[in-house]
Structures are given as structure tokens and as C-alpha cells.
Amino acid sequence: MGVKAREGSRTYPGVDPSELDARRERFEALAPSVIDGVRRYLARRTDPATADDVLSETLLVCWRRLDDVPDAPLPWAYGVARNCLANAARGDRRRTRLAARLAVVDPPRPVPAAEAPDTDLTEALARLRTAEAEVLRLWAWEDLGPTEIGAVLGISANAASIRLHRAKGTLRDELRKLDASVGHEQSTEGARP
């Protein structure tokens, strides 16, 4: 049995209506900027069906924890989305399989980069540890600095900065290795009669 709220009811016992209005106003002002950022964050990390679910869930958490939302809401909201996404990933396998099937039935829209995908980069990112790849994504895709990355991951700005620095180095190394192996294959092919 869960907590069933009364559908359609707009009264909140114990809550001053004017306070509720103020709360709604704050949320309505805050949400649009958060929605677009979180939507992109999720599109980069999961299938469209899960992204939709987790976006709704993230917004619910933002609404319920409106008093906790800091002045810079986006990194905080990314952190919430990250937790919700991790929870979704821990959900039962049946749901995961269903989400995968839905993703196939309703395939993601074609991505322009797919025409000329940077396979080396994809491969290099895949070779990185999950935590390293994630700081790079937060840095390049979400356009965050170390302080904000720290806020998303729940670590200090200093730790985020160190992790980011190392991750960049590792990615460069992996890209170099891949370039070298491709170059080697090409030169071998060229030398064949």
C-alpha cells in the first residue's frame, strides 16, 4: 500500500495557500532551465524511454525538495538526475528489458554524428573507467567546471579537478594508442602489392 494522494484536490492541509502559491511560482520560474539541462543530461546517458521517466522523477524530487535547491540549480539537479538514473538502473531486469524493447520499438531520432561517428573517441571513452568517463562528459557535454562537477558527484571541487585532469590525460593516451594502431594498419595495407 502506498500513500495515495487525492486526485484533483488542490488543498494542502496545514499549508498556507499563499505559501503554496509562492512555492508554485518559485518552481515554475526554476523548472524550465532545469528541464532542458536535465533532459540533455539524460539523453546523453540512457535510452529515450528511461530518459523520460527519470526526467519526471527528477522534477518531482526538485518540487519536493524546493527548499534545498541552491542558487546554481543545474549541477544540483544533475546530481538528483544522476541518483534517479542510478536507481532506475538498479531496478528489476524486467523493467530494463522492457525499456530496451521500447527503445527499439520507438527508436531514437537519428543523430547527425552517426553519419560520421568518431569511433575512436567512442572506443577511447569506453576504455576509461566509468568515473573518469563521467567527469569528461560533465566537463565537455554539460559544460561544467570542477566546482560544479564536484556538486554533481558529491565530491570536493579539488577532488573533481584532480579526477578531471587525470581523465583528460587517460583519454589522450587512449586516443593516441588508437591512432597509432590505425596508422600501423594503414601503412601495412599501403605496403602490400
Q: What are the residues binding another protein (CB under 8 A)?
A: 1-5, 7, 12-15, 24, 27-28, 31-32, 35-36, 39-40, 43-44, 55-57, 59-65, 67-68, 83-84, 86-88, 90-92, 94-95, 109-113, 117-118, 121-122, 136-137, 139-141, 154, 168, 171-172, 175
Cell numbers given for 56: 519526471
Identify the burial level of 70 via C-beta atoms within 10 angstroms of its C-beta, where 0-12 means exposed, 13-18 middle and 19 or more buried. exposed
User: Please, what is the minimum distance in Å from the beta carbon of residue 159 to another protein?
Assistant: 17
φ/ψ (deg, to 5) at 58: -60, -40
Residue with Cβ nearer another protein (133 or 191): 133
Residue with Cβ nearer another protein (28 or 189): 28
The answer to whether residues 147 and 157 touch, using CB atoms and an 8 Å cutoff, is yes
The C-alpha atoms of residue 77 and residue 91 are separated, in whole angstroms, by: 21
Residue with Cβ nearer another protein (87 or 192): 87
The C-alpha atoms of residue 163 and residue 166 are separated, in whole angstroms, by: 5
Cell numbers given for 110: 537519428
User: Please, what is the minimum distance in Å from the beta carbon of residue 35 to another protein?
Assistant: 6
User: Please, what is the minimum distance in Å from the beta carbon of residue 75 to another protein?
Assistant: 16
Single-letter amino acid code for the residue at 134:
E
User: Please, what is the minimum distance in Å from the beta carbon of residue 28 to another protein?
Assistant: 6
Residue with Cβ nearer another protein (172 or 184): 172
Residue with Cβ nearer another protein (173 or 190): 173
Cell numbers given for 92: 528489476
User: Please, what is the minimum distance in Å from the beta carbon of residue 177 to another protein?
Assistant: 13
φ/ψ (deg, to 5) at 112: -55, -40
